[in-house]
Amino acid sequence: MHTLSYAATAYTPTRACVAMRQSYELNGMQQMSDSPEQARLTQAQSEARLLATAEGFARAELARDSTGHDFAHIERVRRLAEIIAREEGADVFVCALAALLHDIADYKIAGDEATGLARVRDWLAAHHADAAGAETTARVMEIIATMSFAGGARPPMTTLEGRVVQDADRLDAIGAIGVARAFAFGGAKGRALYDPDQVPRAAMTTEQYRAGDSSTLNHFYEKLLLLKDRMNTQYARQLAAQRHAYMRAFLDEFLAEWSGER
């Protein structure tokens, strides 16, 4: 362990070299220029390159997932996070990167949180994330650590970027996509669509929530219908209102059909 961290420290001075070499390659081996436009282009290119690499990493890590965190979820969360980030004036690059990596640290995928978080941190270090933008590693890790926080009440997000990515992740759990994901999850766990004898559980500990074996319909009352009031940003609240209304209409129709009313 000591040798490893020593090696990482010793490697630090070469990061600048790697960044320089990347920007040199990205400029098509042209002479590097100091013009602001050139610098901006190079910055955008190195961000784009890191995002593309992160996409490949997330795709490979989550390819075999059946817990509702498949790569298509990641792509949707990224797209939503970018849209909300633009509306809210957040750093689009940090939001996109955190969205791409947010479920790799999920306990269901990594086994436990510490392992998952270390995996993401190592990846960011190995890919010189801080060369693409100052403090990228710290900013992304802060978001992912808070999102995957398992114990009881989660701490609130401290940054605008964190609030944006959390909103994007929550939006993907509601609306038509939310309905589809809930029943896919329930199916994978062998749960009933609905059981009129099971009353939705009100307040739950994390353990009760994870161990629970209640019907998929109960999940709407226990979690999904509560999400619209937990949005952090104004723009996500707007999107959530529409998705929430759709989900409510679905539940009304479902229960009416179940009871033979319609």
106 binds ligand ADP (CB under 6 A): yes
Q: Toward ligand ADP, which CB reaches closer, 190 or 260?
A: 190
Token pair recorded at residue 213: 């074996």
Considering only 127, 169, 171, 228, the residue that binds ligand ADP (CB under 6 A) is 169
Q: Toward Ni ion, which CB reaches closer, 90 or 173?
A: 173
Half-sphere exposure of 65 (CA within 13 A, CB side): 24
219 binds ligand ADP (CB under 6 A): yes
CB closest to ligand ADP, residue no: 68
Distance CA 49, CA 53 (A): 6
Contacts of Ni ion in 161-190 (CB under 5 A): 169
Shortest Cβ distance from residue 262 to ligand ADP (Å)? 24
CA proximity to 216, closest of 245, 250, 249, 179: 179
Residue 4 has a CB neighbour count (10 Å cut-off) of 9
Contacts of ligand ADP in 44-103 (CB under 6 A): 67-68
Q: What angle do CA 24, 47, 239 make, to 5 degrees?
A: 165
Distance CA 49, CA 15 (A): 16
Shortest Cβ distance from residue 47 to ligand ADP (Å)? 26
Q: What DSSP character marks residue 67?
A: S
Q: Applying CB under 6 A, which residues contact ligand ADP?
A: 67-68, 106, 169, 173, 178, 181-182, 185-186, 216, 219, 224
